[in-house]
């Protein structure tokens, strides 16, 4: 528990049993005391002499990482009495107080120590100094979904038990017509998981490039979850799993053979961060869920049936058919029978100060497309996806398309032009599923991602999403490029018997660069049943 106690320190007690129970960490297998930020824990010190704080104060320095700094929030100075000199720009200041059970004349100090709710998570050294003696204590600080001031605060206790504490779960696979539930052992509190999960953070590329900034940013679950999303796959870093969607799994384990996360994470850790072979989407998601729950971020695994992969960000799955005498054109877009990702629960003050986008956030560790140069995805607010606010961080267009892209069949003619021959607006994003809270049953959460298919609201949101300011058009696609134009769609009632979704459009203003074909398609969308 401590490295050495010298002349004035007689005994130290980290009160591990009491602290672990109060901090919901008693089920975590670890040697160190594990606490959650924003919540007090107690340490009992027995001194060889009476404690007189006016003559001989007690000072403590809490530090984490290789480059601890008050200004970065990775170091904090505090003491009894609180006369410690701090940096004027110190972040994440810890607090200390003497508990009522203390007895200064007898040299018995029950210290109540509180890491703030914005302190970076990780391993900490507490350097306790009294007179000329120093004692070092080791603890681990995690996120705290029980603390209202923590960005990962989850109000409902049943949900906390499910999304943080539950080590068993169900991952749904199969297809939309035959949904299959597979048991998954998350094992987030198994042996050495604390060291394994913190190692994942330590070997990520951002930490290797700038340890001080990375360790400081570990106060932020948005940052942490994005790092984990990148580190679960091994595409461009020292990540945990190597993906394999082929028919041969020689040299590794078929993804269908895995039934839990701990064996995968343990193998990665014990082989010096070498990627474990092999994973597919549900394995990536299961492993990420384990890491998130261990660190204290509420997390659940989500399956999307008829899941679209929109390669060019236009929210449309394009299928090209060759006219007679025209060479067939392969599409980079696709629709998968299912795809699995995770949702993490956190606040998103980076998106809106009023909490509009707080709550569940999509995170996808399966390496599909690069996000800001890295194979990761999210976090993207589920509420933002629901309302088509796809311009918001992170990866909104890609995730929106996964659950609500339109499928368009094009006939490609000899002159390179395209004709829309079929549109399906209802195929993508069906039976979006996760395990129910406290029950081994499927819970359908499709309505958290999109409004009912075929409704006027769903089409309105799709139109809103498709006109956000994020498009990067694929210049190789057929169609002549037009200069940017200003246009806005305005619905005009044809007659009092006109139905929802059947309106006439006129161009009056909204700016985006588009192709002739895309312009014609958008006009078609608002003037016909789709």
How far is 234 from 72, CA to CA, in rounded Å?
A: 29
Segment 49-77 mean pLDDT: 96
pLDDT band at 111 (very low <50, low <70, confident <90, very high): very high
Cβ atoms < 10 Å from Cβ of 510: 12
Q: What gap in Å lies between CA 507 and CA 511, rounded to an integer? A: 11
According to CATH, the topology of domain 165-466 is Coagulation Factor XIII; Chain A, domain 2 (3.90.260)
* Phi, psi dihedrals of residue 324, rounded to the nearest 5°: -60, 125
Of the candidates 160, 203, 197, 167, the residue with the CA atom closest to the CA atom of residue 184: 167
Q: Is 281 a catalytic residue?
A: yes
Region 254-264 average pLDDT: 98
Q: Which of 219, 339, 389, 514 is catalytic?
A: 339
Residue 104 DSSP one-character state: G
pLDDT range class, residue 330, cuts 50, 70, 90? confident
Stretch 462-469: mean pLDDT? 88
Question: Where does CATH 2.60.40.10 sit in the chain?
Answer: 9-142
Of 281, 289, 407, 514, which residue is the catalytic one? 281
pTM here is 0.86
Cα distance between residue 68 and residue 226, in whole Å: 23
**Annotated binding site for Ca(2+), which residues?**
404, 406, 453, 458
Binding-site residues, in ranges, read: 404, 406, 453, 458
The CA distance from 31 to 53, in Å, is: 32
Query: What gap in Å lies between CA 128 and CA 44, rounded to an integer?
Result: 12
**Model confidence at 250: pLDDT above 60:** yes
Within the chain, all domains assigned CATH 3.90.260.10 are found at 165-466
- Of 364, 389, 395, 517, the active-site residue reads 364
Beta carbons within 8 Å of 274's beta carbon, 6+ residues apart:
268
Q: What is the CATH topology of the domain spanning 9-142?
A: Immunoglobulin-like (2.60.40)
């Amino acid at each position: 528990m401590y490295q050495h106690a010298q002349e004035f320190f007689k005994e130290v007690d980290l009160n591990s049993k009491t602290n672990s129970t109060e901090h919901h960490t008693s089920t975590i297998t670890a040697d160190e005391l594990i606490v959650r930020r924003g919540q007090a824990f107690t340490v009992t010190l027995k001194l060889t002499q009476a404690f007189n704080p006016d003559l001989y104060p007690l000072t403590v320095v809490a530090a984490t990482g290789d480059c601890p700094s008050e200004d970065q929030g990775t170091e904090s100075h505090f003491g009894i009495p609180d006369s410690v000199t701090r940096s004027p720009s110190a972040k994440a200041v810890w607090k200390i107080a003497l508990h009522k059970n203390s007895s200064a004349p007898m040299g018995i100090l029950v210290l109540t120590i509180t890491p703030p709710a914005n302190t970076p998570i990780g391993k900490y050294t507490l350097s306790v100094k009294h007179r000329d003696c120093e004692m070092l204590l080791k603890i681990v600080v995690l996120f705290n979904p029980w603390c209202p001031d923590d960005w990962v605060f989850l109000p409902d206790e049943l949900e906390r038990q499910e999304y943080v504490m539950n080590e068993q779960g169900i991952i749904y696979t199969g297809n939309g017509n035959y949904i299959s539930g597979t048991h998954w052992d998350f094992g987030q509190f198994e042996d050495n998981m604390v060291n394994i999960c913190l190692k994942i953070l330590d070997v990520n590329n951002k930490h290797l490039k700038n340890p001080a900034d990375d360790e400081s940013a570990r106060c932020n679950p948005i940052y942490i979850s994005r790092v984990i999303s990148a580190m679960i796959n091994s595409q461009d870093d020292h990540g945990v799993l190597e993906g394999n969607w082929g028919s041969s799994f020689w040299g590794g384990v078929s993804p269908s053979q895995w039934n839990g996360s701990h064996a995968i994470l343990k193998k990665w850790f014990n082989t010096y961060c070498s990627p474990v072979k092999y994973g597919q989407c549900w394995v990536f998601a299961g492993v990420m869920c384990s890491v998130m729950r261990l660190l204290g971020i509420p997390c659940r695994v989500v399956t999307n049936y008829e899941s679209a992969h929109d390669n060019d960000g236009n929210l449309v799955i394009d299928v090209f058919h060759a006219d007679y005498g025209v060479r067939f054109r392969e599409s980079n877009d696709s629709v998968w029978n299912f795809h699995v990702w995770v949702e993490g629960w956190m606040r998103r003050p980076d998106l809106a100060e009023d909490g509009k986008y707080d709550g569940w956030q999509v995170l996808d560790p399966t390496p599909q497309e690069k996000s800001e140069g890295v194979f990761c995805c999210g976090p993207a607010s589920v509420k933002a996806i629901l309302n088509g606010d796809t311009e918001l961080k992170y990866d909104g267009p890609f995730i929106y398309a996964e659950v609500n892209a339109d499928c368009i069949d094009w006939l490609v003619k000899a002159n390179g032009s395209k004709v829309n021959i079929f549109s399906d607006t209802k195929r993508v994003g069906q039976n979006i599923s996760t395990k129910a809270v406290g029950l081994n049953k499927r819970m359908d959460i499709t309505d958290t991602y999109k409004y009912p298919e075929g409704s006027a609201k769903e089409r309105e949101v799709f139109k809103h999403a498709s006109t956000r300011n994020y498009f990067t058009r694929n210049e190789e696609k057929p169609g002549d490029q037009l200069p940017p134009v200003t246009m806005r769609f305005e619905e005009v009632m044809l007659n009092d018997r006109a139905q929802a979704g059947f309106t006439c459009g006129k161009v009056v203003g909204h700016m985006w660069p588009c192709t002739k074909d895309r312009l014609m398609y958008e006009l078609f969308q608002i003037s016909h049943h789709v």
